Structure 1
Amino acid sequence: MTDTTSTAQEQDYPLSPVPETARKSLWSMGLVLLGFTFFTATMWAGGTVGTAFDFGTLLWVLLIGNLLLGAYAAVLGYIAARSGLNTALMSRYAFGELGSKLSDFILGFTQIGWYAWGTATMALLLVKMTGLPEGATLPLMVLFGFGFCVTAFVGYKGLELLSRIAVPAMMVLIAVSMFIAASDAGGLAGLTSIAPTSELSVAAAITLVFGTFVSGGTQATNWTRFARSGKTAVWATLAAFFLGNGLMTLVGALGALVYQQADIVDIMVAQGLATLGILMLFLNLWTTQDNTVYNFAVAGCNLLRTRRRKTVTVVGAAIGTLLAVLGMYEWLIPFLILLGTFIPPVGGVIMANYFVRYRGTYPDLASAQLPAFNLIGLSAYAIGSFVAYTSAWIAPVVGVLVAAFSYALLETVVAGVKARRASALSSL
């Protein structure tokens, strides 16, 4: 094995396709992705939706929102498994060698924003729940900011090891909490009798469910590229983003209905399970935080064209910690709106580029003659983002569909013009 190949393997192949010898099983990948989608902010989204609808409508909103998210992530996961590439590398084909740096920046920024929010959340809630002095908040942010990145520093193996321990434990804790909540509400009859206490349109609710974790779905390719087949990637992604994310939104919704609390920690405190609540908070955030900073590192490696993923991971943790100290906890609402508007069009362009331009098979990345800027891809992204931003309908879905359609249309028109020009020149 050459030094370059050895370095790539150690760093989880940040700038090259994952070889067949490094592929993972459905079980391994499903655990890692489930750990990623078990996230506190997702429950907050479910809680916001939960107080706006009757129980039957609520279930339909959660079903549709999470099904859309799962389908979106699954298509990208399929492409990643077939090509062995992550979103950052696929962006080179879709946006160009230099143009891909735009998506690297957008994806990296959103992930480090989530990392900062999670770090701040852990420190603030731990102080609140244990009665520690307020002065302990800042040191705890630094501790968790760098502590959460340890498993990401190791790489896929570290993420998988943590998920093997944390995911089953969280499943048990969530099941216990949901059973108690259903009992406190008076069973199914009690849940269906609870009247909504807030107003939210169905489109806005689905946007919230879909948009809260769409940045994670766009970058789930960082793990699905390790899948042994496209089928494995699709099933693992659906399990995480439809079932796992769906479970988190459902827990938040039930908590809001029964206890007027959306977060699993506050719910468990209300249920008299404070100690388990702290454990849940720690496991919940750690399994997402390490995945998030790993995503940042992968995008950063492509942006800087460096294989030093471990170094970029530590730098990302430092930036996230700084943002947490500066008050990222207060920026969640505008941050979610940003994610739901400007991230999905990236995935839409990548899908259309793969299926329309390359007919389901990328050329070899090392030898492909890619332009500095793919104007078709960049234009389609701009169109998709603008329409999503101005849309009164489900913005993330609109962004994906408009970006994909715009790319397909522009690619077809440009290809037709080039073909006519070539035909005209050959006839001279």
Structure 2
Amino acid sequence: MHATHDEHTANAVPEAERGSAWRIFFIIAGTQCGLPGFVLSARILSALGLHDGIAAIIASALMTALLAAFTSWLGAATGMSLSLLSTRIFGPYGAVIVRTVIGVSLVGWFGATIGLLGSTAAPALSEQFHLYISPNLVSALAGIGIVIGTCMGARGLERIGQIVIPVVALGLIVGIARTWHALPAAALHGGTHALTFGGAVSAMIGSYVVGIIIQPDYSRFVRSSNAAVGAVVTALALAYPVIMIASGIPSLALGRPDLVSALVALGFGIPALLVLVLSAWIDASACLYSGGLALANLLQSRRLWPYVLGCGLIGGILELGGLTDAYVRFLLLLGIVLPPIAAILIVDTLIGLPANVGRPAAGRQHAAILAWICGGIAGGLSEFGMTSLTTIPTFDGLLVSACIMTVASLYARLTPSDPAI
């Protein structure tokens, strides 16, 4: 798909333009190869120890795959993006808020990602090639390239994933092979206990909650909804934990904060730099694509590339202007209101089947907004230690919003209503 092609920002993807589920496998698995995931896996294994850390990663991946399977099915079954589905589920006014929240979040994470790339790559370039380039210049150049690539649409994301996955796989194999001898000693280390098991699970699911929500943006291009679910489960239940565990083992064995720094310590500076650039590239591209899609739909435009360009410009200004750190703190607070959206999408998938998927009955739009508000409040109360149902903010938000939406959806199915909504 080219910048000038219709990315179907305002309508469902026609059957004739849908294809294989492999495209979303490469996108989803590719986005798991990012530096934030490498840092998180190292943190989990360091905190819980090798055995408990692996158990936490596997449990988190299975739960993430289950949640994402529902939202992916919804996108493939309807051919609609998250932005279009949000209108059906939340109503026109609620959908504006959903799109704005998603767009603002993703633009911010794009800026944070290119900033992390610049601050990590600049010292590596200096050490490996004696090239002294400012982190801001690295971020700016990378950001320009990422914006250009993202303007190609979902096909561009697929192509990046096809490159990232084998490169990262090679880095993982090298890292494990060179640190295998240190694993017995690492396995005896009980962990720092800086994270609890539940905290590790929450951190992993929370790190991908936006990905769960935006699954329809990718799965709408898949011809078969069952194939879309299969691709998501393969990527998240199989590839995701393998990537996390394999990236965490060299970090644990060497006492390094992430896979990239572990590879540098092993003398593989150039491969480490390649892994860093490609992993940041696909992370940032995915943020730009869905952020641009949300804003294009919000402004009722059929062209995606101007909004990708605008999102990239805003994210770049935030980063180069030194505002990213403050903005990320805002994004972390904003993250409290995101899990309930995933729960509402999942309930709509389960209870709306088969005839009403994505099409709310009378009163369900108001119920969706109420469920979102209550879920956000529950997550906020848990986050700030005021009260909690599960001790995990992400789960509290999911649980409360899912319960409210379930009751409202069942009531709507049992109550005659005017279908013209």
TM-score by length of 1: 0.87
Q: Count residues with an aligned counterpart.
A: 408
- Give 1:233's aligned amino acid: A
Percent of residue pairs bearing the same amino acid type: 21
Is it true that 1:299 corresponds to 2:299 in the alignment?
A: no
Task: String of CA shifts for 1:144-191, please: whole Å, max 9, x gaps.
Answer: 1121122210112222222222322221222211222323x1x4x333
Contact 2:2 2:153 in 1 (8 A): no
Match of 2:354 among 360, 363, 374: 360
Q: Which residue of 347, 358, 381 maps to 1:390?
A: 381
After superposition, the Cα gap between the structure-2 partners of 1:243 and 1:389, relative to the gap in structure 1 and judged at 3 Å, is farther
Q: Which residue of 1 aligns with 2:407?
A: 409
1:326 counterpart = 2:321: yes
Query: Which shifted more, 156-165 or 121-130?
Result: 156-165
C-alpha distance 70-164 of structure 1, shift in aligned 2 (>3 A): same
Q: Does 1:175 align with 2:170?
A: no
Q: Which moved more, 1:45-54 or 1:114-123?
A: 45-54
1:74 matches 2:69: yes
Match of 1:157 in 2: 155
Gapped regions of structure 2 (runs ≥ 5): 383-387
Q: Gaps spanning 5+ residues in structure 1: where?
A: 1-5, 423-428
Equivalent residue number for residue 9 of structure 2? 14
Matched, 1:23 2:18: yes
Q: What is the Cα deviation at residue 388 of structure 1?
A: 2.0
Q: 1:203 to 1:336 in 2, by over 3 A?
A: farther
More displaced, 220-229 or 195-204? 195-204
Structure 2 counterparts to residues 359-378 of structure 1, below 5 A: 359-362=353-356, 374-378=365-369
Aligned to 1:312: 307
Q: Encode CA deviations 1:218-263: one digit per residue, 9 max, x unaligned.
A: 1122111111212111111122233333234324532442222232
What does residue 425 of structure 1 align with? none
Q: Residue 217 of structure 1: CA displacement?
A: 2.1
Matches of 2:327 and 2:275, distance apart in 1: 21
Contact 1:212 1:340 in 2 (8 A): no
> Secondary structure of the equivalent of 1:242?
helix
3-state secondary structure, aligned to 2:80:
coil
Instruction: Name the SS for the 2:47 alignment partner.
Output: coil
Q: After TM superposition, give the deviation of residue 138 of structure 1 in Å.
A: 2.2
Change (3 A) 1:274 1:364: closer
Alpha-carbon distance in 2 for matches of 1:415, 1:177: 54
Q: 2: distance between equivalents of 1:260 and 1:303?
A: 46
Compare 254-263 and 214-223 and name the one that shifted more: 254-263
Q: Provide TM-score, normalisation by structure 2.
A: 0.88
SS of 1:98 mapped into structure 2: helix
Paired residue secondary structure (1:24): coil
Matched residue type, 1:139 = L
Q: Secondary structure at the match of 2:134?
A: helix
Which of 370, 392, 398 is the equivalent residue of 1:379? 370
Once the two structures are overlaid, the 10-residue window that deviates more, 133-142 or 341-350, is 133-142
Q: Counterpart of 1:243 in structure 2: which amino acid?
A: L
Name 1:246's counterpart in structure 2. Answer: 241
1:309 CA drift (Å): 0.6
Q: Shift of residue 364 of structure 1?
A: 9.3
Q: What CA RMSD, in Å, does the superposition of the two structures yield over aligned residues? A: 2.8
Cα 1:114–1:245 change in 2 (3 A) is: farther
Match of 2:88 among 82, 93, 108: 93
1:394-420 per-position Cα deviation (integer Å, ceiling 9, x unaligned): 32233223212201213445676x65x
Structure 1 pair 346–272 and aligned structure 2 pair: CA distance change class (3 A): same
